Amino acid sequence: MQTTDQAPAGDVAAPAPSGLRSLVAGKLSELIERAVADSGISCAVQLASGQVLRFGPGEPQFKLIFHSDKPLLGPMTEDALGTAFIEGEFDIEGDVFALQEVRKLLAVNANAGLFLAWMWQLVAKPATWINRRAIAQHYSLGDDFYLPFMDSRYRFYSQCLFRADDETLEAAAEHKLESMWNGLQLRPGMRLLDIGGGWGGVHEYCGPRGVDVTSLTLAQDSFNYISALDRRLGLNGCTVLLEDFLDHRPAQPYDGVVIYGVIEHIPYYRRFCARLYDCLRPGGRLYLDASAAIEKYDASDFTRRYIWPGAHSFLCLQDIVQELLFYGLDVVETKNETHDYYLTMRHWAERFEANRDAVVSRWGERIFRIWWMYLWTGSYAFYEDTLQAYHVVAQRRADRGPRPGAFTRATQFLRSLK
């Protein structure tokens, strides 16, 4: 059922012509009524004219407040409406998860130019150049931006592991490190490579336990933070290098490799696994965790435009397992951690939202809106299982694996079509 009323006169923009108002209201009503019918949500929408549309039974779970008719006259795509939100053309109040029922009906990808530009980078640009660019665009806002919404104990930017839904984010971060320590079978005196050092959580946990950690990072802020952490904690056996993993050539192989939430920036699985084999001693282990999608390179226009530029790709589990096996590594453990990532991102979203005034004051309203939308919609994607998360443990064999070339891979592909 739909009813209308008027918002207070002082709170709205000047009314649009009646014909335009009818077009806007009709277009929006069709979309939301479909969402209401499918999910039973209730909501309210205040148009720029002041007209308020109500959908569904009971009190509205969320409210959209439009300051302009412009967003509703263009294409009803996730990218277009997401951009309108970022530019402040409408606001959102209430239950963000309920809002996602409407978002499901929006077209995810519509911009062919954006997709082709992304494909051109992937095909034509050097992998290390793409990695540097992506890291620079997502991780260059300064430590004070990221640290307030992550766990305060180890400062992780990938899924923490919860033993109960009401556990703290800090306890879940500890469990993440326990899982890695046990998966890699670490012991004092071992050498560990940490790909993508973040804010030094692996140093802080493993260093005092007698493991020598070498971290690789492409972010100057991360390099500075970890260097200062090692000095402060007296971790003389730990070091950090400003270097791409694809360029890394250690003097001697490592006992273990950990890569937390970074494989999304290295979609070149063959090169990654070849380099990994050379970096590990025989019997050495890899611990990898990541956000994942069933189809590789599956991402919305909004994500590619505002969140993860360049060749970012969610982990494709079946593809990474294949390449690990081809390149001399046995998969010894795989665990689904989708629910853990939902809980992690929900904590991040709530903490980020609570820090709104500080974020807007220093980085501006636009940056706040981009990250607010990213964190809440990301949490919902894991909740709905449209995104997944895993950790994988693999162990290096003595042999190098079959490492099939182009001809063998083409033959395998043709056989799979039968």
Q: What would the pLDDT profile of 198-226 be if each residue is shown by its tens digit?
A: 999 999 999 999 999 999 999 999 999 99
Summarize the confidence of residues 75-96 as an average pLDDT: 91
Fill in the amino acid letter for 26: G
Sign of CA dihedral 219, 213, 161, 321: positive
Q: Check residue 9 and give left, alpha or beta (phi > 0: left; psi -120 to 50: alpha).
A: alpha
CA atoms of 64 and 52, how far apart (whole Å): 10
CB–CB of 51/13 below 8 Å? no
CA atoms of 130 and 310, how far apart (whole Å): 6
Going from the C-alpha of 378 to that of each of 89, 154, 158, 199, 294, the distances in angstroms are 22, 21, 12, 22, 16
**What value does the mean pLDDT of the chain take?**
88
CA atoms of 202 and 176, how far apart (whole Å): 10
Percentage of the chain lying above the pLDDT 70 cut: 86
Query: Does the pLDDT value for residue 4 go beyond 70?
Result: no
Query: Does the pLDDT value for residue 9 go beyond 50?
Result: no
42-55 pLDDT tens trace: 999 999 889 899 99
In this prediction, residue 13 carries a pLDDT of 41
Query: Does the pLDDT value for residue 387 go beyond 90?
Result: yes
At residue 150 the predicted structure's pLDDT band, cuts being 50, 70 and 90, is very high
Tell which residue, 29, 20, 28, 64, has the closest CA to residue 44. 64
174-188 pLDDT tens trace: 999 999 999 999 999
Joined tokens for residue 213: 């950690």
For residue 234, how many C-alpha atoms fall within 13 Å in the half-sphere facing its CB?
2
Element (H, E) at 395: strand 388-396
CA 291 to chain centre: 6
- How many CB atoms are closer than 10 A to CB 279? 20
270-305 pLDDT tens trace: 999 999 999 999 999 999 999 999 988 777 778 778
Rounded to 5 degrees, φ, ψ at 91 are -120, 160
